[in-house]
Structure 1
Amino acid sequence: MHLFYQPGVDSPGVNSSDPVEFLSEDDSRHAVKTLRLGIGELIAVTDGHGNQYTAVITKADARRCTFRITSTKTTLPRPFSVRICVAPTKNLDRIEWFVEKAVEVGIERISFFFGQHSERRVLKLERLEKIAIAAMKQSLQSFLPILDEALSVGELLKTIQEEQRFIAHLPSVDSPGVDLPVHLAKAASIAGQYAVLIGPEGDFAEKEIQQAVAAGFQMVTLGPNRLRTETAALTACQFLNFINA
C-alpha cells in the first residue's frame, strides 16, 4: 500500500462528521498521474506524529485527491532517541544524502550548526524537509524527524536536553598524556536519549571542543578511519540504532 504524508490528517470533513481529508497537491498528482490510483482504492496516510491511517480514495483529482479514513494505527515512539548535530557540508548534496539515509535508518532529530571552521554559512531547510518527508514515506515510517535551523555552536549547546551527550573528535596522537577516547558504541548506554556532535570539514576549533566538554559532552571515536562529515554523522546514527536493536 502506498504511503502519503498529510499533517493534521484526522480532522472532520466540511459536510460530514466522518474524517475526510485530501492529499497535498504534489501527492495528489503523484497518486493520480504517476501511480494511477482511482476512486475506491486503498492508500495509507501518516501525519508524521506516529499515526498512520488506512483510507479509501473518494475523488481521484490530480490537484486535490480526497480520501475517507477507514482505520487508524498508532505507533509508539522508540524507547530511545537519536539526535545528530552536524555542520552542513560545503557541497550540499552530501548533507542531503545524510538526511535521506538517516531518516531511512531511524532518527528523531537533526540539528545543524555553523562552526568556526565551517565552509558553508547558509542553509535553507525547505529542500531538506522535502527530502526527509520522501525518506519517511519510502521507508514506511510514521514519525517525521525534527529538522532544526542552523545555529552557532554556543547557541546549539543551549538547546541540548539529551542526557547522553557525545562529540566525535580524535585528539592529536602527538598530544602527550592524552588518552584516546572510547568508541561511541561502547560509551553509549542502551535506551538512552542521545545527542552527538559531528564537526565541519575543517573540524572543531579548540574553543568549541572546550564548550562542548563544559556542556557535558564526552569525546568519542567512530573508528580508526577518518570519515567525511556526512559519513561520520550517518555512522554515529547507525551505531546508536544498532546497540538498541
Structure 2
Amino acid sequence: MTGGHDLRYRSRLLAYSELTETDRTAIDALLDQRQRIVAPRRDVVAEGEVPRFVHFVLDGWGCRYRQLPDGRRQMLSLLLPGDLFDPHLQVVGRTDHAIGTITTMTVAEVVPEQLSALSHGSHGIAQALWWNDHVAMGTHREWIASLGLRTARERIALLFCEVYFRLRLVGRCTARTCEFPLTQADLAEATGLTPVHVNRMVQDLRRDGLIAWSGRTLTILDLDRLCEMAIFTPAYLHLDRAVAAG
C-alpha cells in the first residue's frame, strides 16, 4: 500500500506546497481507502461517464484522449506516476473526454467531498490543489501551441523533455534515464503525426546523439541540446515552485 509517504505518489500535490506532517498523514489515509488496478489500454473513466472519484495515479501511465466515431484518436495529455486528475468533480456533470491507461495502472479513488474537506481544513493542501490545476492547464496550452507551431521534430523532442522533467520531479529518474513505455503509435496520437513520421523523427534524434530509446527506457544523452531543439522552456511546468524532495 501507500503508507509512509511512498514516493510513488509524490505528486504535484506534494511537490508544490509545504505540507505539514498532519497533511501528509491525512493524504496517506485518504489514498489507502480505495485502490484499483486497471489493465493496459483500458478506460479508467469513459467519455460521457458521470465521474464518481478523484483519481491519484500511484503507479503506471495513462492519458487523456478524445476519439472520433471513425476511430481517429488524439491524446490530450499524459498521466504519469504521482499525478492526480479531476480534483473538482462537484462541478462536472459528464466527462467530455476519456481517461485511458497505457500500462497497467494503480489508482487511488478518492471521494470528492473528502478531498474537498481536506482542502478546506488545510491551506497547504488547498494551495497544492490550485497549483496542480494550474500546471495541468499550462501543459494543455503547451500541447496546443506545439501542435500549431512546432515542427514534427520539435514536437517529439518536447514530449521527451516534458516526460523527463515530470518524472524527475517525482523521483522516477536515475541520472538522465527514465521509464518510457509509449509506443511510436502513442507518440503519433500525442503529436498529431503519423507513426511513420514519428519513426523518422525518432531516428533523427538518435542519429544526432540526443536520445537513446530502447524498449521501455529513455535516456537523454544531451539534455541541453534536446531542450534547445524542442524550444522547451519549463515555465509551464512551474518547476521553480517545486518543494525539494526530502
- TM-score normalized with structure 1 length: 0.27
Bigger radius of gyration, 1 or 2? Answer: 1
Question: Which protein is richer in strand relative to its size?
Answer: 1
- TM-score normalized with structure 2 length: 0.27
